[in-house]
Amino acid sequence: MRTVYVLLTMDCETAKSDVTPYAAQMSGSGPIDYRESERSIRGYVETAKSYGFPTTLFAHPEVAVGNMELLLSLEKQGACLGLHLHPYKFKSQNYEYDLGAYSASEQREVLHRAMQVWESALGKPPEYFRAGYFSANDSTYHVLHELGFRGGSLSNPGRILPSHCSVWAGAEVYPHRAHFGFRLIKGDSDFINVPVSGAFGRPVARGHAGEQGYEWPYIPHTYDHRKIIQDVLRRFADDEPRFGTVVTDTHNDQDYSDPEHPARQNLELILQSLQEFCKEMDMLPVGITLDALCELVLKDEA
């Protein structure tokens, strides 16, 4: 029976009360305030737990402060915490673009500042990362490694979204050691990248962020999530990857505490579909956090 790893992630965005009009225009995701954020995060984690799956939470620096007690409590219960960042949403800073628009030195500067806020709130530096919009360039992996990050979920294979410096056409689709010279291929570094899951049999001309690419398990979207999961698992059956991983994503502006909320229903549909299709295909779904998966990949290819 082939193991399928299930990595349930959430990008925890700055509350709208904390962002400028320009930042809100660049990225409209995010809760009204940190109470709404807490309700969403807690509901997501508890729903996943009811199906036996852990979660990985990428927290923007302001969320690390505003939801500090919640995040630390969830970490003690098994959640993996990482840093999330839209530079223009970073409070009291003056950045205009997504991360991939910046040079290595500029990325190092904004990431270091974000890390300081995150660490001050949560008591240790972040070791895992995802940028807003999956924005990155060929310097990003190396910069993150230099700053002490061990891994992340940075890529959305097939995505073409130049307006947010997020272009992943042709990118490696399974968890791998990053290449410090070219972001799209495997390398031999100690930084691990875990791509989100694309349904490559289901192309889209315009996705939820305006991108060209493929349907993927972005939970709040109106995609047919059952068919996405089926498509991804069929690819695993054909490719027989060493670490076939279903990676989902969402934001902390969806009320996962409400069983009638569309995002909550989509999440449950995804988890039920995983169980059903894995059984049909003689696969075993195993929940995992990003830190644990990165360690598996490192040890396997050491």
Q: What is the 3-state secondary structure (H, E, C) of 75-110?
A: HHCCCEEEEEECHHHCCCCCCCCCHHHCCHHHHHHH
pLDDT above 60: residue 302: no
Distances (CA, A) of 67 to 39, 82, 111, 285: 10, 14, 20, 30
What pLDDT score was predicted for residue 92?
80
Beta strands in the chain (DSSP E): 2-12, 55-59, 80-85, 128-131, 151-152, 160-161, 166-167, 176-177, 192-193, 199-204, 213-215, 245-248, 283-287
Predicted pLDDT at 208: 83
Residue recorded with tokens 């694309």? 198
User: Is pLDDT at 28 greater than 90 in this prediction?
Assistant: yes
Rounded Cα distance, 285 and 274, in Å: 7
Between strands 55-59 and 80-85, the pairing is parallel
Residue 26 binned pLDDT confidence (cut-offs 50, 70, 90): very high
Whole-prediction pTM value?
0.97
In contact, 152 and 129? CB cutoff 8 Å: yes
* Cα 237 from Cα 277, distance rounded (Å): 11
Query: Among 138, 30, 36, which residue's Cα sits nearest to residue 90?
Result: 30
Compute φ and ψ for 266, nearest 5 degrees.
-65, -40
Other C-beta atoms closer than 10 Å to the C-beta of 35 total 12
**Which CATH number is associated with domain 2-300?**
3.20.20.370
% of the chain surpassing 70 pLDDT: 99
CA 169 to chain centre: 18
Where would I find the H helices in 187-261?
225-239
Residue 301's pLDDT is what?
63
Average pLDDT of the residues of the chain: 97
Domain ranges of the chain: 2-300
Q: In angstroms, what CA-CA distances link 230 with 248, 274, 278?
A: 14, 8, 9
pLDDT digits (tens, 9 = 90+) for 117-174: 999 999 999 999 999 999 999 999 999 999 999 999 999 999 999 999 999 999 999 9
